[in-house]
Structures are given as structure tokens and as C-alpha cells.
């Protein structure tokens, strides 16, 4: 799966970080804080569809002092960008290519490996790797229901994913074209993004149903983007333009109505985009939550 630029991911990172549900993330941290991780046996985290490493930057401070991350993406350019961003984030020394990175961030000793992998084909093999946590951010609404079934059937470890789109959007000031535009946008979103016909807003519901049927405890929390100018003006404009372009491709809405909606969106006083965060634990590994 490709198609997301490092520039887009950098623009959304501050909003992604502040939008995560804090209470659910604290639940994740509490689950691992008393486990006996050491420099020799660090906590092992697998990050699916890692992009430029934003999920690590948001989550690492709440995990044990010794961590070993494997960042996985199919897009080589994003993996290279992730290594560069994490090097700057930690003031680490630059290393060649995608060789592992060892960094110190505050009290956290973090080893990071970078893996280019086609998750559409190899998710079962990826999940065979022993780890303590499987995680992802803004990823699961892009995959198909059949892929979600494969993922859940292969998952054996605690799982934490954030910012899965839930289909709710509100633009202010509102207008009677909003529902028409949103319906067409959902039609466009539920196309093949490289991992089958995307589940889109249904992804979290499917994950919860699949995991509960496989004896996982699941916890969800809302994590909406709340975008307000001037701080979020660039992201509001980028979101409005990309939504209008997607709707244009569907041919479900008249061009003049799309343009009218776009003009209003570019000058929005606020935009709220709904997401879900999900924390799930196999019952045999529940321990402290």
C-alpha cells in the first residue's frame, strides 16, 4: 500500500498526537509497566504501516525503558523518511540505509528496525514474529474486510491501534450539501487501497467483532480530530481539497455543488473528523489492564 506522502503525514502528526484518547493509551501503558523488560530482553513492538514513525513518537514515552521496535511499511521512501525523522527526534547519529537505529529518548533506550514488507500478501508471516505488542495508526480503515479476517485469525498478541476513521464528519458552518458530499466520499473511500476493497468506517466494528469471537478483550474510545483555524488551517484546506477531489472522481455529485462545498470548506470555522482507538488483549495474556 502506497500513496501517502511524507509531507501529508508531517502535516497531520501534531493533530494525530493530540487526538489520541489518553485514558485508553494509559490503559496500554499500565498493562506493560510492571512486566520485566530489560536491556537484554526489551519490550518488542511491531508497527504496521508505520509511515514516517509518528506512532512510535507518540507511544514510546508511555512504554517501558527498554524497547525494540520493528517499523513495517511497503513504501521504501516512507521507511527512509521514518529513519531520518527518528534520527532527528532523538539527536542520534546517522547510519547507512535502513540499518537498525539505536536511540536514547529521555529515559527510553529504543532499538528500531525497518522492514519493507507487502502486508497485503504476507500479514500471516509478519504476525508469526514473536512480539509483545502489535500496533498501528490511521491504517485499518484502508484494508479490506477479508484482510481484517486474516489479520485477526493470525493475531496472538496484545493489539493497539489508533485513529481508525469512523465515518463521522462535521464542517462548520454546515450546509445541506454536507451529507451528499460525505456519502460520495465514503463511496470513494471504500475502494482498493492496495489491501482489497477498503473497510472504511466499518473497520473498527469488524475488528471488535472478529477479535471478541477469538477470545480477545476489546476496549474502544473516540479520538476525533477537532480542527480549528488558524492553527489547523493548512490541514483543513488539505482535507477539504482532497475530499472534493475524491468526490469528483465518483461522479455522484454535480461539479458546481462540489465547488460550492469546497469553497465553504476552505473557509471552515471548524472541522471535526471522527476516529476510534482500539486496545485488545488475548484473554490468556490479559494480566494487568
Taking the domains of the chain in order of start, what are their residue ranges?
6-166+197-224+274-283
pLDDT tens figures, 219-259: 999 999 999 999 999 999 999 999 999 999 999 999 999 99
What's the CA gap between 185 and 249, in Å, rounded? 9
Sign, CA torsion 39/45/46/50: negative
Instruction: Look at residue 94 in the predicted model and tell me its pLDDT.
Output: 80
| Residue 82 in grid coordinates | 521514518
> Residue for cell digits 514488507?
117
| Angle made by CA atoms 137, 166, 258, in degrees to the nearest 5 | 110
- Which of 157, 160, 159 has its CA nearest to residue 128? 157
CB neighbours of residue 31 within 10 Å: 20
**Which of 64, 19, 16 has the alpha carbon at shortest distance from 41?**
64
C-alpha neighbours within 13 Å on the C-beta side of residue 188: 18
Q: Which of 156, 157, 82 is nearest to 112 (CA)?
A: 82
CA distance 101 to 17: 23
- For residue 2, the model assigns a pLDDT of 47
- Per-residue pLDDT of 116-125, as tens digits, reads 999 999 999 9
CA 146, CA 195: separation in Å to the nearest integer?
9
Cβ-count burial 153-175 (b if 16+ within 10 Å, e if not) = eebebbbbbbbbbbbebebeeee
> Is pLDDT of 78 > 60?
yes
Q: Report the CATH superfamily, name and number, of domain 6-166+197-224+274-283.
A: Vaccinia Virus protein VP39 (3.40.50.150)
Residue in the structure block whose three cell numbers are 469488524: 206
Query: Which has the minimum average pLDDT: 66-75, 158-167, 196-205, 216-225?
Result: 196-205
Distance from C-alpha of 180 to C-alpha of 176, rounded to nearest angstrom: 8
pLDDT (0 to 100) of residue 289: 43
pTM: 0.93
Q: Give the other-Cβ count within 10 Å of 121's Cβ.
A: 11
Amino acid at each position: 500500500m502506497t500513496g501517502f506522502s511524507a509531507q501529508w503525514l508531517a502535516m497531520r502528526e501534531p493533530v494525530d498526537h493530540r487526538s489520541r484518547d489518553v485514558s485508553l493509551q494509559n490503559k496500554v501503558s499500565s498493562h506493560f509497566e510492571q512486566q520485566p523488560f530489560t536491556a537484554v530482553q526489551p519490550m518488542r513492538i511491531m508497527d504496521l504501516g508505520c509511515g514516517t514513525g509518528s506512532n512510535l513518537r507518540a507511544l514510546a514515552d508511555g512504554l517501558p525503558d527498554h524497547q525494540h521496535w520493528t517499523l513495517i511499511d511497503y513504501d521504501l521512501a516512507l521507511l527512509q523518511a521514518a529513519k531520518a525523522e527518528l534520527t532527528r527526534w532523538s539527536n542520534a547519529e546517522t547510519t547507512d540505509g535502513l540499518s537498525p537505529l539505536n536511540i536514547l529518548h529521555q529515559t527510553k533506550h529504543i532499538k528500531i528496525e525497518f522492514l519493507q514488507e507487502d502486508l497485503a500478501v504476507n500479514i500471516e508471516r509478519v504476525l508469526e514474529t514473536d512480539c509483545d505488542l502489535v500496533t498501528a495508526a490511521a491504517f485499518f480503515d484502508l484494508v479490506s474486510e477479508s484482510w481484517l479476517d486474516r489479520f485477526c485469525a493470525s493475531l496472538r498478541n496484545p493489539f493497539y491501534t489508533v485513529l481508525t476513521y469512523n465515518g463521522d464528519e462535521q464542517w462548520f458552518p454546515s450546509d445541506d450539501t454536507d451529507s451528499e458530499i460525505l456519502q460520495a466520499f465514503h463511496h470513494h473511500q471504500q475502494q482498493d487501497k492496495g489491501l482489497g476493497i477498503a473497510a472504511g468506517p466499518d473497520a473498527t466494528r469488524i475488528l471488535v467483532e472478529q477479535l471478541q469471537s477469538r477470545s480477545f478483550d476489546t476496549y474502544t474510545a473516540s479520538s476525533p480530530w477537532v480542527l480549528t483555524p488558524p492553527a489547523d488551517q493548512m490541514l483543513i484546506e488539505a482535507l477539504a481539497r482532497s475530499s472534493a477531489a475524491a468526490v469528483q472522481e465518483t461522479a455522484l455529485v454535480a461539479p458546481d455543488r462540489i465547488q460550492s462545498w469546497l469553497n465553504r470548506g476552505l473557509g471552515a470555522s471548524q472541522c471535526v473528523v471522527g476516529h476510534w482507538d482500539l486496545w485488545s488483549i488475548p484473554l490468556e495474556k490479559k494480566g494487568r489492564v
